Amino acid sequence: MSEIRLHKDALIALDDGSLFYGYAESKGPFICSELVFTTAMTGYQQSLSDPSYEGQILAFTFPHIGATGICEDQLQSRDSGPCGIIVRDLSSSFFLSPNQDLKTYLQKRSIPCISGIDTRRLALAIRSKNKTYACVMTQDIDERMALKYARSYTKVLSQRQKQAYICNHDYKNKEGFCVVVIDYGIKKGIIETLSQHGCCVVMVPASDPRAIEKYEADGYVISNGPGDPRNLDLDVIRVVLSRKVPVFGICLGHQLLALSYGAKVYKMNHGQHGINHAVIDIEKNRFILTSQNHDFAVEDKSLPESCSVTHRSCVDGSVAGFRSIEDQVITFQGHPEGEPGPRDIAYIVQEFVSMMRKCRAKKK
């Protein structure tokens, strides 16, 4: 059970003037950023280390977080994820984990965490606007300054990966497909899934289009990652498409590929963050549950005739995937590896591998 405290010593100020007081579970310098929420009931470890949340403040609508502690092998990255988290109740005890409790994990990394917040009310406040910025203070609270910072915040993103590197030198699959990942903030689970399908995964920074020319790739993955795709350079995407091998776009990569085809991407009212989002596979005529974490979507009517929509969200009908047969491109808006979440869409990775196999056979 969580300890009982009488004095609330932390503050969340929203850019609309709303104030939420809570308890500082992990203290650090005040932070200002975009505030988003996830409806996931499990998988908080993966969410806390998901690079797609980089630079955002993440609120969990499920009321009790931290009961299973932190398992290092379930983290999706070592130094990427939300810059602050908001919970209703943070568990002070844990089981199953051989490593540490969530509070200690956050404190060691100086990630501010506030508990005692009505996170469902907070989620409703986020949903009511196109975008919500917030200031989180866990020490030296000043309402006036917190509101000022929240209202004047301007988002700045950086691409973290700077050098190319090979993830798995010791793969032992006979086919041994070389997959070059254009890294905008990829999750460990995606790398592991590709490796399990017999791929040697090579990571290349998205900021260096010339780096991909060093590798004879059987296919490319345009990774997930944080931020507004409309602000990113498309040069590396165009280079990838010119290589005439299969390409798989995931989440942000899905949006960037759409932009490279001249399509439009729009900011969603409140995004989709959770592990139980229903999607329809149009080609297979089946419903699947998927893990989603995005604030932008592709405008389907702007896609060229050469691209066909393969998946749609059952929540709002937005495009959840498309393909271009001419360019051997497939995309999916969600996270196919299911870290966290269901793996109903995992078959799309096998489809990507099959595309590489056919492409290699044609070259012989």
Q: Which of 123, 117, 140, 133 is nearest to 23 (CA)?
A: 117
Active-site choice (197, 294, 311, 335): 335
How would DSSP label each residue in 108-120?
Answer: HTT--EEES--HH
The C-alpha atoms of residue 255 and residue 266 are separated, in whole angstroms, by 10
How would DSSP label each residue in 57-72?
Answer: EEEE-SSEE-TT-B-G
Tokens 């200002």, residue located: 32
CA dihedral for 159, 177, 240, 224, sign (positive or negative): negative
The C-alpha atoms of residue 194 and residue 215 are separated, in whole angstroms, by 17
The C-alpha atoms of residue 212 and residue 218 are separated, in whole angstroms, by 12
Residue 337 bears catalytic tag: yes
Cα angle 227, 232, 236; round to 5: 125
Active-site choice (251, 270, 307, 339): 251
Question: Residue 68 — φ and ψ, nearest 5°?
Answer: -105, 10
Distances (CA, A) of 243 to 27, 220, 278: 48, 9, 34
Q: Which of 327, 237, 312 is nearest to 278 (CA)?
A: 312
Q: Which of 197, 30, 217, 5 is nearest to 90 (CA)?
A: 5
Active-site choice (25, 34, 54, 337): 337
Q: Which of 343, 49, 361 is nearest to 196 (CA)?
A: 343
The C-alpha atoms of residue 362 and residue 364 are separated, in whole angstroms, by 6
Residue 200 bears catalytic tag: no
Q: Which of 328, 363, 186 is nearest to 247 (CA)?
A: 328
The C-alpha atoms of residue 282 and residue 286 are separated, in whole angstroms, by 7
Which residue numbers are catalytic? 251, 335, 337
